[in-house]
A and B are shown apart, each in its own frame.
Chain A
Amino acid sequence: MKKKKKIERSKVIGLFIISALFLIVVIVYGVNKLFSREYYEIVPKAQDAVGMVKGYEVVYEKKGWLQVQGTSISLPVLYQAEKNYPVELQGYSWLTDYSPGFHNHFEIMGHNIFNLSSSPEIESNDFLRFEQLMAFVYYDFAKENKYIQLSYEGKEYLYKIFMVGFIPTADTILLPPGLDYTEEDMQEYISRVKSYSIYDYRVDVSKNDKILSLGTCTRFYGNNNDWEFFVVGRLVRNGERVDNYSVSKNDQYVKVEEKLKGSEENEEM
């Protein structure tokens, strides 16, 4: 009888150990899953990124689809050889240059007609173009939103933002042209754009990376065409984590902050 009880007890202990093990495994798995959650979830749009569209008697080819984290920018990326991109046409962006294949330098432009002021709005129903790109001028927004997704030729590409800033229109001509940068071109591009960045992003960028720049017009610094606003990212590298890396304001931001403050004092009428 005693023996029987002993056997029973050991069975229960064994059962307990097994269950505990099982629980540990599940917990570890769950935590692992939790911590490996990516900061940006890719929303596939590749199938929407092809085809032909028309606007204002102009035929465009859809070359891709663009999504910017934290914004309502989810737009087709068009291309048209004669580069006819009217402001009146809504809901699109365009490639400044195109040839088949994936390149290490893409530049996508979009119109900004409703968010040109020196106190840009974060969002609005009127923002059907690149207006919402101006939200990156706010540090809090920039802190939270780090990723740009480009759907292109059937694949999804994710870029980490490493530069946000205002580039003088005249200086944009100094950026190396073309889609396929040499290492020297890339180095020059990176160092030029970073010199205008109002933030320092904790992202390593090198001449071997692939770049996507988003640009639009602004009147942030006055009623002239002297400035353009850029948000530039580099392709997430193989095996790199999609996390919320840090960003901080730098010296260039002082000028921006002053402008933002100044415009606050001039309330909208």
Chain B
Amino acid sequence: MKKCSKRIIGLSFFVTLLVLCMISPFSVRAESSQCDNTKDHLVNAYGITVAPEESKFNISMKIDSQYLTSIPGLRQNKTTFKVSRILITKLLDKSVRYSEYVENTDKLAQDLIADYATEADLQSAFGLGSKILADGGSISFTNYQTGDVQYYVVLESTGFDPILQRNCGVDAVSTVVLSFESYARFVPEDPEIIVVDPPTRKTGKIECSGYATRYSQGSFEYNYCRDWDLAERKSDTRRFTFGKGETYYQRYGENAAEAFSCNAWAALEYIKANGLPQSDEDYYTEVNRKYMIGVSSYTDKLDSLRYAYNTGGQNSSGVGNRVIYEDIYCKRTCTEIVTVEYGLPVASKAGMCFEYKVKVTSRVNCDAEVQNIPKPPSPCEPYPFCRSLTSSWTNDDAGPSVEFDSCIASCDGGKYTSNCSRKCYNEVYGVNTALEKDRMPNFSEVVEKLNVYRNAGCDFQGKYYAHGSYVYWTPASCLARYYSHSGRANACVKTEGGGGFSAECDCQMVCQWQGCSDAYYLNPGEKENDATKNQKIYERALEECEKEVECMTTTAEFTISVDYTYRDKDKGVTTTTINFPYTDNSSGSFDSIHYENGQFACTKDQANSTIISSMGCYACGQISNQGEYQTEWGFPGTWINKKTGVLSYKPIVGSQEENWTKRKKFCLPFDAENVNQKWWNSYFEIVDVSGNYSYQDSNYVNNIEGCGGLTECQTTSTFTQTDSVRENIHARARKFGYFGWNIDINCFYALNDSFPSYETYTCDSSESCDGPYVIRSVDLKKMFPSNKADENASRSPGYNWSSYAKIPNEKGTNYSTVDFSADPYEYALWLQQNNYTIYSDENLDYYVKLDKAMLKKLKSSDRDYTKFDGKVEVDQNNVVMNYQSPLFRGGDALLSTSVYPNIAVLRCNNIDKHTKASNYDAQCFVVQSTDLKESGTNE
């Protein structure tokens, strides 16, 4: 009992489960994703079987890189695939021909002979491993053998241009088409299409809006987007209204916003690796070069253009059906690539000057597309469709013939009883015939009948005409239309106007033309006529659409400013901003490039202009390229008073100009406080090869630690990656370029005067060190300018009687006083060597001979000899400052004729011939007393 019940329980369970399985709707669905982002870019199609007799298997490449090729300035890259592997199996004794096409030109045709031992042999024999399939190219295999051939193909995509990657943001569609002519099929059913990223690329997300489709002819396409390492910034898509419609733009670059900053750490790294820029060409570096892209599309209706389709034939009045399409649109997509470049941060000292420049360049390209071109109607040939036929060999009537009806009428008065139906059937039609196997029709009757009517002088010309879905035949002469069916030809004569025709043998037939309507082309040549005319319309539309891009006439504005902090005696530490272009009302001023009277004008030529250069649309006065915009701007300059060293950012013009020197840089006021000291330290740690600037100096360290003034408390003296800087140089552009970009560039200068200079001035205890001192900074490269023409000099031309007057040449070897009329060092040496003999008669400064005439002259003069009313002059030629006494010079000079040495010598201050006199009119020499004795009179 127990065992039995157990068995029953178990069995019941099992059966229940079984039943549950049967009625439950189990289903397993295989998900097939249309577009898989994780797939690699490798096209792998294997097992394509191509049947014999010259059937062809083709792999072709088409790249639709519309945006890529139209962006100017970018290197044009093309998606390419290399045929990395190909295997042909089942190759027999005959051949498969391999051809390679480059842009539809048959470049190579080779016969692939069979009997390759290994796949490697096949690959190497034809170099298939290195075959590149570029845009427009294709390779094909033609099978000439009497058997199937199987192909196994692997295509691998090659790398991409780095610039392209950075500026990507649009779709590049590459289409690989595998196609084959008849009788080819994939084995297995679908080829496996795997797409592999090129190995040099990092695997970013591939945003794929494409799909894989397979056509019944055996070809497929795979579309994919390329948006590489900037894919994560795709969310930074901004919309704004610009021009004709809404525009969107996407920004690419390290900083997706409109503000760009100097990366302090990156700048140090760059300088460490590459050194400082040595020339203007190197000024802009890759660390401070950013890109942006803007794309805008708008669509306009082309009002003056319309397509016409004249369908439905023409009736005898010549009227057909005409359909006009007016909604033809032009879609223009403009792309602007903007490159923003700006200088590296600057390390300076109070009183020193530095330049800072920024440059923005953009290029615009517009693509045009004519849209909404209607699909032309199709041609259609009507067929005759007849009802109420009385003849058995005509069309689709589904009932009895007239004879049959007559027979019935006589038999049962038209009741169609069974008996009479059978009787009349046998009488009229004969025996029932079943369908049988087919045989070829006999066309002899066709020829005969056509000849009959041809001989009668009729022809078969005419035209179809339709009204709605009613189609008519308008004959040119006596015959309506002929049609033949399976061996019998029937030429029909039109008996009445309009819709029908009658058969020659049976005039009770009613037929219409069917299968078409007035929406179709019914007669030969009509489609072609319309196509020709519409093609011209299309070309006009394209011409109108593809207008060259024109310069935007919005006014662009440029400014640059510097913040500097100083210690005001009343207010304490104060920060102020100096804006350029500098005006009295400095805030809100800007330089501009604006459009007027048909061209662009700019404020470049004004003395306070920040604009250094401009090109393209912005080439002031003359547009050099309508697709380009470029402006470089920086500091207009700083004017320094020659005597006092006072700075002015406002241009000094007019008569005052001669007392000022202009530096085309920004000069920091002497009272500028330290800023970004840590960065300054690290900068000089890199650039200072002489080791003079050592932040290890104890004085320095003591100064930096103490949180004095504005300097923040710093525990270390050098800059680290996590340290921040204060941005104090700001360049701005507003409404720049085609899309009116607003660009902010923020950089900085660093200043560290806590650092002791190489020469320190220590006060003697007996002196007062409180000033007033005039401290002047000099440019070490041009410390002693020799003449006025040297604009970059920080000092007026003049002597410096210290040994620093000796300036080494570039090689640092030949010390000479460049352009000086005398070498002070040499002269000082001479003086030392000659000791007190310089006061002897051997080295006279002046020798005045007082003869009778001279004495008389002197007595008669009422000149006040104590009056020092001469002038001090700096001789710009020989750079000598001298006092010109009216006693010796001028029209009423008293002693001019009695002066020894020569009056010209006076200008040289009687300096010896340690001169370089090649530039000068006068020789400066010392008159020896012996000369005097030998010449002149003895008084």
The residues of A with any CB-CB pair to B shorter than 8 Å are: 8, 11-12, 14-15, 18-19, 21-22, 25-26, 29, 32, 52-60, 76, 80-92, 94, 96-97, 109-118, 121, 124, 126, 128, 130, 169, 172-173, 176-178, 215-219, 222-225, 228, 263, 266, 268-269
CB neighbours of A224 from chain B (8 A)? 405
Say which residue of B386, B401, B486 sits within 8 Å of A80 (CB atoms): B486
Contact B1 A8 (CB under 8 A): yes
Say which residue of A14, A85, A90, A268 sits within 8 Å of B418 (CB atoms): A268
Q: B29-69: contact bitstring with A at CB < 8 Å (1 yes, 0 no)? A: 00000000000000000000000000000000000000000
CB neighbours of B400 from chain A (8 A)? 87, 113, 116, 217, 219
Residue of B nearest to A76 (CB): B435
What are 17 A-B residue pairs whose CB atoms fall within 8 Å in the complex? A11-B5, A11-B9, A52-B438, A53-B436, A53-B437, A54-B439, A55-B436, A60-B435, A82-B485, A85-B398, A91-B434, A112-B399, A113-B399, A118-B415, A218-B399, A219-B400, A268-B419
A163 to B437, CA, bound (A): 36
**Distance (Å) between the CB of A261 and the closest chain B CB?**
15
A19 to B127, CA, bound (A): 75
Contact B2 A88 (CB under 8 A): no
Q: B156-170: contact bitstring with A at CB < 8 Å (1 yes, 0 no)? A: 000000000000000
Residue of B nearest to A220 (CB): B416
Interface of chain A, helix or strand or loop or mixed?
A: loop
The 5 A-B residue pairs with the shortest CB-CB distance in the complex, in nearest-first order: A82-B485, A217-B399, A223-B414, A54-B438, A117-B416
A176 to B387, CA, bound (A): 16
Contact A269 B441 (CB under 8 A): no
Say which residue of B384, B396, B485 sits within 8 Å of A109 (CB atoms): B396
CB neighbours of B414 from chain A (8 A)? 219, 222-223
Given A113-B399, A114-B421, A218-B399, also A88-B432 (CB < 8 A): yes
A115 to B408, CA, bound (A): 12
Given A22-B12, A32-B23, A55-B434, also A177-B469 (CB < 8 A): yes
Q: Which of A8, A216, A268 has the most CB of B within 10 A?
A: A268
CB of B483 within 8 Å of the partner chain: yes
Contact A26 B409 (CB under 8 A): no
Say which residue of A55, A83, A90, A128 sits within 8 Å of B396 (CB atoms): A83
CB of B325 within 8 Å of the partner chain: no
Given A82-B485, A83-B395, A117-B415, also A176-B433 (CB < 8 A): no
CB neighbours of A217 from chain B (8 A)? 397-400
A81 to B19, CA, bound (A): 55
The residues of B with any CB-CB pair to A shorter than 8 Å are: 1-2, 5-6, 8-9, 12-13, 15-16, 19-20, 22-23, 383-388, 392-401, 404-405, 408-409, 412, 414-419, 421-422, 425, 429-442, 469, 483-488, 512, 514-515, 517
Contact B16 A22 (CB under 8 A): yes
CB neighbours of B487 from chain A (8 A)? 57-58
A18 to B401, CA, bound (A): 73
A130 to B397, CA, bound (A): 13
A263 to B665, CA, bound (A): 118
**Distance (Å) between the CB of A76 and the closest chain B CB?**
7
A114 to B417, CA, bound (A): 8
A110 to B397, CA, bound (A): 9
**Distance (Å) between the CB of B931 and the closest chain A CB?**
123
15 extra interface residue pairs, beta carbon distance < 8 Å, beyond A87-B401, A114-B421, A228-B398? A57-B442, A57-B486, A60-B438, A76-B435, A80-B486, A83-B384, A85-B395, A87-B429, A88-B430, A90-B434, A113-B425, A116-B399, A219-B405, A219-B408, A263-B415
Say which residue of A59, A169, A266 sits within 8 Å of B439 (CB atoms): A59
A182 to B412, CA, bound (A): 46
Contact A19 B12 (CB under 8 A): yes
Say which residue of A54, A84, A87 sits within 8 Å of B437 (CB atoms): A54
Say which residue of A54, A82, A118 sits within 8 Å of B483 (CB atoms): A82
**Distance (Å) between the CB of A78 and the closest chain B CB?**
8
A24 to B484, CA, bound (A): 69
CB neighbours of B395 from chain A (8 A)? 83-85
Contact B417 A268 (CB under 8 A): yes
CB neighbours of B469 from chain A (8 A)? 176-177
CB neighbours of A115 from chain B (8 A)? 421
Residue of A nearest to B20 (CB): A25
A185 to B422, CA, bound (A): 40
Say which residue of A8, A18, A263 sits within 8 Å of B12 (CB atoms): A18
Say which residue of A15, A21, A52 sits within 8 Å of B16 (CB atoms): A21
Say which residue of B399, B409, B435 sits within 8 Å of A111 (CB atoms): B399
Say which residue of A53, A57, A225 sits within 8 Å of B399 (CB atoms): A225
Contact B392 A86 (CB under 8 A): yes
Contact B13 A113 (CB under 8 A): no
Contact A223 B405 (CB under 8 A): yes
CB neighbours of B515 from chain A (8 A)? 97, 177-178
**Distance (Å) between the CB of A169 and the closest chain B CB?**
6
Contact A116 B421 (CB under 8 A): yes
A169 to B431, CA, bound (A): 28
Given A15-B5, A19-B12, also A91-B404 (CB < 8 A): no
A84 to B442, CA, bound (A): 14
Contact B5 A90 (CB under 8 A): no
Contact B485 A83 (CB under 8 A): yes
Contact B385 A22 (CB under 8 A): no
A269 to B432, CA, bound (A): 24
CB neighbours of A22 from chain B (8 A)? 12, 15-16, 19
Given A96-B385, A110-B398, also A54-B436 (CB < 8 A): yes
**Distance (Å) between the CB of B911 and the closest chain A CB?**
110
Contact A121 B435 (CB under 8 A): no
Given A8-B2, A84-B393, A225-B388, also A92-B435 (CB < 8 A): yes
**Distance (Å) between the CB of A265 and the closest chain B CB?**
12
Residue of A nearest to B428 (CB): A87
Residue of A nearest to B406 (CB): A223
Residue of A nearest to B390 (CB): A225
Contact A91 B393 (CB under 8 A): no
Say which residue of A18, A82, A118 sits within 8 Å of B484 (CB atoms): A82
Residue of A nearest to B380 (CB): A178
CB neighbours of A216 from chain B (8 A)? 398-399
Contact B9 A18 (CB under 8 A): yes
A232 to B393, CA, bound (A): 27
Contact B433 A89 (CB under 8 A): yes
Given A26-B19, A87-B429, A128-B432, also A81-B438 (CB < 8 A): no
Residue of A nearest to B399 (CB): A217
CB neighbours of B417 from chain A (8 A)? 117, 268-269
**Distance (Å) between the CB of B809 and the closest chain A CB?**
92
Residue of A nearest to B417 (CB): A268
A86 to B383, CA, bound (A): 19
Say which residue of B19, B409, B442 sits within 8 Å of A223 (CB atoms): B409
A130 to B396, CA, bound (A): 14
Residue of B nearest to A263 (CB): B415
**Distance (Å) between the CB of A24 and the closest chain B CB?**
10
**Distance (Å) between the CB of B76 and the closest chain A CB?**
44
CB neighbours of A85 from chain B (8 A)? 395-396, 398
CB neighbours of A126 from chain B (8 A)? 418, 421-422
A58 to B394, CA, bound (A): 12
CB neighbours of A113 from chain B (8 A)? 399-400, 404, 421, 425, 429
A155 to B643, CA, bound (A): 105
**Distance (Å) between the CB of A33 and the closest chain B CB?**
9
Residue of B nearest to A108 (CB): B398
Residue of B nearest to A92 (CB): B435
Residue of B nearest to A226 (CB): B388
Q: Which of B394, B405, B416, B418 has the most CB of A within 10 A?
A: B416
**Distance (Å) between the CB of B564 and the closest chain A CB?**
76
A218 to B398, CA, bound (A): 9
CB neighbours of A84 from chain B (8 A)? 393-395, 485-486, 488
A113 to B399, CA, bound (A): 6
Contact A88 B429 (CB under 8 A): yes
A116 to B22, CA, bound (A): 52
A85 to B385, CA, bound (A): 12
